Amino acid sequence: MPSRSYESLTHRVGGIKTNFTFAGETEQRMSGRIVVVEDDERLGRLVVDALAKAGYEPVWYQDGRQVTLAAVQGASLIVLDLMLPGTHGFDVLKELRKQSDLPVLVLSARNETHDKVRALQLGADDYVTKPFWPEELLARVAARLRRPVLTRSSVVTIGELSIDLDQRRVSVAGTDVDLTRVEFDLLAALARRPGSAVSRGWLADNVLDPDRTGGERTLDVHFSRLRKKLGDTARYVATVWGVGYRLAAE
């Protein structure tokens, strides 16, 4: 199934006038291009119509196997359903996170807590359950786009806190902070995706020393020490209960 982007075709779905169009090689504005991955025909049309009316440029896929890195190139956000033909939405999210930090908003009828936690652990930035009001979806999209995304700059600055990823240097109000290897790597992991939660499992597997015992249980100890060293700027290192930690942008 090809992707769908807006060109000017009008249909009525369930009594609601819905504008949508089929695949076209239209120019996309990077700041407003949103990829919608939804197999339900009626719901997909409603979502892309709401996005288009709000000024975004949606591109619609109905099969999870279509969501490749090339397919989402230049997009600002992905709206992702979980129950998809071809592959599960969790698998799509997992593969995407190996190559990209593009913000992902999960849109699903599954409202169990473990599904929401799993989505956030895999790298989702938000989770909206069906049924939903279009106004809520648009508000969440706008809120996500206002937040900073993964930074490719070597220096991340939030208030008086500065993190130089290349030089492995952290300073507060211009004064260097002496961090251990683990403390810096934990802070750097959050700094690479400011505003987004990073799961405890990922931090334990990718930052902590695998030869030492403790795993996720030792994270709280390291973060407690890190916060003490950061002083007042420790408020930027937030705990996301049930998920992990995040560097909260000012």
Q: Which domain holds residue 182?
A: 155-247
Label residues 71-85 b or e (16+ Cβ within 10 Å = b).
ebeebbbbbbbbebe
C-alpha to C-alpha distances, 247 to 116, 138, 143, 164, nearest whole angstrom: 20, 24, 16, 15
One domain for residues 16 and 128: yes
- CB of 166 closer than 8 Å to CB of 191: no
Q: What is the pLDDT of residue 250?
A: 58
Q: What is the pLDDT of residue 76?
A: 86
One domain for residues 55 and 109: yes
Q: What is the pLDDT of residue 15?
A: 30
Reduced to 3 states (helix: H, G, I; strand: E, B; else coil), residue 230 is helix
Q: Answer whether 0.75 is exceeded by the pTM.
A: no
Q: Which of 146, 180, 196 is the last residue of a domain?
A: 146
Please report, for the domain that includes residue 35, its CATH number. 3.40.50.2300
One domain for residues 29 and 140: yes
One domain for residues 159 and 122: no
- CB of 141 closer than 8 Å to CB of 51: yes
Q: How many CA atoms lie within 13 A of 17 on its CB side?
A: 4
Q: What is the pLDDT of residue 214?
A: 61
Q: What is the pLDDT of residue 195?
A: 79
Amino acid, res. 190: L
User: Looking at the 3D structure of the chain, how many domains does it have?
Assistant: 2
CA-closest candidate to residue 200, choices 177, 179, 168, 222 = 222
Q: What is the pLDDT of residue 212?
A: 57
The tens place of each residue's pLDDT in the chain, 250 residues long, gives 444 433 332 333 333 333 333 333 333 333 478 999 999 999 999 999 999 999 899 999 999 899 888 888 878 899 999 999 888 999 999 888 877 778 899 998 888 888 888 888 888 888 998 888 889 999 989 888 876 555 445 788 888 999 998 889 999 999 999 999 999 999 998 988 877 788 888 888 888 876 555 667 788 899 999 999 999 999 999 998 888 898 986 5
- CB of 193 closer than 8 Å to CB of 186: no
Q: What is the pLDDT of residue 222?
A: 93
Which two structure tokens, joined as six digits, stand for 219? 């994270």
One domain for residues 30 and 94: yes
One domain for residues 171 and 87: no
Given CA atoms 166, 172, 176, 179 in this order, what sign does their dihedral have?
negative
Instruction: Provide the angle, in degrees to the nearest 10, between the axes of the packed helices 89-99 and 113-121.
Output: 20
Q: Which of 91, 119, 146 is the last residue of a domain?
A: 146
One domain for residues 118 and 164: no
C-alpha to C-alpha distances, 181 to 23, 145, 170, 226, nearest whole angstrom: 49, 32, 12, 11
DSSP β-ladder status, 77-80 and 161-164: unpaired
Q: What is the pLDDT of residue 28?
A: 32
Q: What is the pLDDT of residue 19?
A: 34
One domain for residues 37 and 77: yes
One domain for residues 101 and 194: no
One domain for residues 88 and 189: no
Torsions phi, psi of 166, nearest 5?
A: -75, -45
d(CA 104, CA 127): 9
Reported as type and span, the H/E element at residue 133 is: none
One domain for residues 186 and 207: yes
One domain for residues 171 and 227: yes
